[in-house]
Amino acid sequence: MRARANDDPKQASAKIATPRLKLFATIFENASECVIISDAKNRVEMVNEAYCNITGYSRSEIIGNSPGQMKSGVHDADFYNEMWRTISETGCWSGEIWDKRKNGEIFPKWLSIRAIKDRIGHVRHFVGIFTDISELKEKELHLERLAYFDLLTAVPNRLQFSERLKQEIQAASRGDHQLAVLFIDLDRFKAVNDCYGHDIGDEVLKEAVSRMQSCVRDSDVLARLGGDEFTLLMTSGDAEQGAVSVADKIIDIISKPIVFDQHHIEIGVSVGISLFPRDGTNFEELMLNADRAMYHSKESGGGTITFANEALHHEVKRKLFLDNELRHALERNQFELHYQPQVEIASGRIIGMEALLRWNHPEEGPISPAEFIPRAESTMLMLPIGNWVLRTACQQLKQWHDSGLPKVPVAVNFSAAQFRHAGIMTEIEEALKDCDLAPKYLDVEITESASMRVPERTIEMLSQLKRLGIRCSIDDFGTGYSSLNYLKQFPVDKLKVDRSFVLDITKDHNDLSIVSAVLGLAKGMRLRVVAEGVEEEAQLELLRELGCDYIQGYYYSRPLPTDEMRAYLENSTAESN
Structural contact between residues 436 and 466, judged by C-beta atoms closer than 8 angstroms: no
Task: Indicate whether 536 belongs to any domain.
Answer: yes
Burial 22-46 (b: 16+ CB within 10 A, else e): eeeeeeeeeeebbbbbbeeeeebeb
Does residue 470 share a domain with residue 342?
Answer: yes
Is the same domain home to 397 and 498? yes
In CATH, what number is assigned to the domain containing residue 194?
A: 3.30.70.270
Question: Do residue 347 and residue 262 come from a single domain?
Answer: no
Residue 3 lies in a domain: no
Same domain, 549 and 460: yes
Residue 264 has pLDDT above 90, yes or no: no
CB 129 within 8 A of CB 140: no
Q: Assess whether 314 and 346 both reside in one domain.
A: no
pLDDT tens digit string along 463-485?
999 999 999 998 888 665 555 66
Q: pLDDT grade, residue 205 (50/70/90)?
A: very high
- Based on the fold, state whether residues 203 and 241 are members of the same structural domain: yes
Q: What's the structural domain count of the chain?
A: 3
pLDDT in tens, 318-361: 888 899 999 999 999 999 999 999 999 999 999 999 999 999 99
DSSP state of 553: S
The answer to whether the beta carbons of residues 166 and 221 sit under 8 Å apart is: no
The enclosing H or E element of 494 equals strand 494-497
Query: Mean of the per-residue pLDDT values for the chain?
Result: 88
Outline where 496-550 has alpha helix (H).
499-502, 509-524, 537-546
The CATH number of whichever domain residue 516 belongs to comes to 3.20.20.450
Pairing of strands 494-497, 471-477: parallel
pLDDT value of residue 198: 87
298 lies in the same domain as 347: no
The reply to whether 147 falls in a domain is no
Answer yes or no: do 183 and 313 share one domain. Answer: yes
Last residue of a domain, one of 318, 350, 375: 318
Question: What does the pLDDT read at residue 5?
Answer: 47
Digit-coded pLDDT (tens) for 361-409: 999 999 999 889 988 988 789 999 999 999 999 999 999 999 999 999 9
Instruction: Indicate whether 125 and 209 sit together in one domain.
Output: no
Range of the domain at 191: 154-318
Q: Based on the domain organization, do 435 and 473 belong to the same domain? A: yes
Q: Which of 267, 292, 318 is the last residue of a domain?
A: 318
**Residue 6 falls inside a structural domain:** no
pLDDT-wise least confident of 214-228, 242-256, 498-512, 546-560: 498-512
The answer to whether residues 166 and 52 belong to one domain is no
Instruction: Examine the domain organization and report whether 291 and 362 are in the same domain.
Output: no
